[in-house]
Amino acid sequence: MGAGKTADVALQRPALTLTGGLALCLVALAFGAVMIGPFGLTPGQTVAALIGRGDQQAAIVVWNIRLPRVAAALLVGAALAAAGATYQALFRNPLVSPDILGVSAGAGLGAVAGIFLSLPVAAIQVSAFIGGMVAVGFVMLVASLVQNTDRTLTLVLVGVVIGALAGAATSLLKVMADPYDQLPAITFWLLGSLAATTIHDILPALPMVLIGLVPLILLRWRINVLSLGDEEARALGVEVARTRFLVIVAATLITASVTAVAGVVGWVGLVIPHIARMLVGPGFARLLPTSALIGAGYLLIVDTLARTLAQVEVPLGILTAVIGAPFFVWLLARGRRGWS
């Protein structure tokens, strides 16, 4: 017993060291992101503004513009990466992303409907959140009506169908939208952006993300068992249907919450878990926090590039695709060693 406990501690130490190192890097990246922008700040000006002793203009830039956007990038990146790691473990497929069950398509439809109806920003975000949750609700309802088939495969296929229907409805609203006012707003939202993000946008999403993370943390060992397959999980005493339902709801809640804030941001939940898996292995207890930390840092870097590369801000979805697609091709070329 004592030898086993010593071995467990020895295995945990590298993961804890890596987590601590990633957290420190994240703090440094956040500090750098606050300084970078059209109104550049020195480290001294940034620290002075953070502690309330800088000039008023620097304080306004830091507290009203940079910090809310940095916080949003950290939250969205961490949430999408955590959801991606969860879905990949649950469905035992490294090609799965957070929008596999139609949550992104549903959230997009909800937001587009809100823009089409000329609703205020807060109402558009609520519509996006509801759209994402309703889409996954339909997926699970339809999948529950299909009997005598592989449960995981059914969920994925129904998710593709519901996502396609939501995409078609979104396209219809784009055709009907005002081309001079509503259509540009719809297009920009669907490409993802954190421009003009305020603390009031982040506060409603933060508790939703935390609520979604709690079951994932508590069920981390059962998620590991589920990754072995349904029959093996049942043999080890896991209630497969109930656990899968809770995990899907939690991951969907996380994804819908941040999609409502940032729009549709792809590739984060697909690529980042692969990087984390290469660092800490497939164990979900280590994979979840590592993915969240790397995802937060990755999206922070991408968002900083989005607002500094050109005079006109580049949508996040474009940059994440430009960076993520070649990296994913490289992952496919080198094989699945990171997964196994």
Amino acid at 243: T
Q: Which of 10-24, 97-111, 189-203 has the least mean pLDDT?
A: 10-24
Mean residue pLDDT of the chain comes to 88
Where in the chain are the domains? 25-333
CB atoms within 10 A of CB 132: 32
Look up tokens 């990246």; give the residue.
29
For residues 10 and 220, the model is more confident at 220
Q: How confident is the model at residue 13 (pLDDT cuts 50, 70, 90)?
A: low
Q: What is the pLDDT of residue 12?
A: 60
Name the packing angle between helices 151-176 and 240-262 (round to 10°): 20
pLDDT reported for residue 269: 93
**pLDDT (tens digit, 9 = 90+) per residue, 280-290?**
988 899 999 99
pLDDT tens readout for residues 105-124: 999 999 999 999 999 988 99
- pTM of the entire predicted model: 0.90
pLDDT at 5 (0 to 100): 44
The amino acid occupying position 311 is: Q
Q: What is the CATH number that goes with domain 25-333?
A: 1.10.3470.10
C-alpha distances in angstroms, 331 versus 290, 306, 328?
18, 25, 5
pLDDT above 50 (res 4): no
Residue-wise pLDDT tens digits, 48-95: 988 888 788 888 999 999 999 999 999 999 999 999 999 999 888 877
